[in-house]
Amino acid sequence: MNDRTHAVEIARMRYACYVAIFGLGVSAALVVLLVFGAGMRASADIVAIVGTFTGVSGTLVGAFFGLQIGAAGREQERAERRDAERMTRMAFGVMTEDQYKETMKMVKGESSTGM
């Protein structure tokens, strides 16, 4: 991973964290406002408020970590693909022309050995 990609990755994580924290703060402030400001004391009201808060916080946290895991998996897949391509080029580089032609036939499913 080059420096620019790393910097973009750090910035993306930072802003995603800011959005998640902001969302949690807004939903927590709403809960406090409704319970203490509006005087909601009935158990049904409190359950509705807590359900809303946990729904919002669960969604934000799940989205944040889901994006992070998805991005990490994507980067790992790209690194593995680059390594495989590099090894393939190196292998083709040391082959003779006949070996290369035979390998390409096998890749295309045209084996000359009758398989």
For residue range 3-24, what is the model confidence (pLDDT) as tens digits? Answer: 777 787 788 778 878 877 887 7
Q: Tell the residue number behind the tokens 């590099």, with chain if given.
A: 86
- Could you tell me the two tokens for 88? 């393939």
Residue 78 CA to residue 45 CA, distance in Å, equals 49
Residue 73 has pLDDT above 60, yes or no: yes
Looking at this protein, which amino acid is placed at residue 46? I
| Chain length of the chain | 115
Span 19-59, pLDDT tens digits: 778 877 887 887 788 778 877 778 888 788 778 878 877 88
Annotated domain spans of the chain: 3-107
